[in-house]
Amino acid sequence: MSELLKQLNRNYFWDINQKDFDEAKSKRLVIERVINFGNLKEIKLVWGHYGEHEFRKTICNLNYIDPKTLNFFSILFKIPKSDFKCYKRKQLNPHPWTY
């Protein structure tokens, strides 16, 4: 098991084989699950592990981030919401019940 996974809640990765897990190949999965389910300590850990540039690039290319988390990272990194892939997708596919 990777050193990074040992420090994170294993419940986030219940569906993968943790013994054969490669954190370099699966950085998108790690970042996505930690920002959506993790706490601030875990987010800082993953951010430090992958570096700010990779972290920012990855979160901007995720298909889904919950609205509160999106707002948090938009403000934290001073990135307009329109630069996030998940925000663009949501705007392209509006649902009448979300207004």
Q: Which residues of 45-80 are buried (b: 16+ CB within 10 A; e: fewer)?
A: bbbebbeeeebbebbbebeebeeebbeebbeeeeee
pLDDT in tens, 71-81: 999 999 999 99
Determine the Cα–Cα distance for residues 43 and 20; give it in Å rounded to an integer: 23
80-89 residue pLDDT tens: 999 999 988 8
Q: pTM of the prediction?
A: 0.84
Break the chain into its structural domains and give their ranges: 3-98
Burial class (CB in 10 A: 0-12, 13-18, 19+), 31: buried
Tokens 């988390």 found at: 69
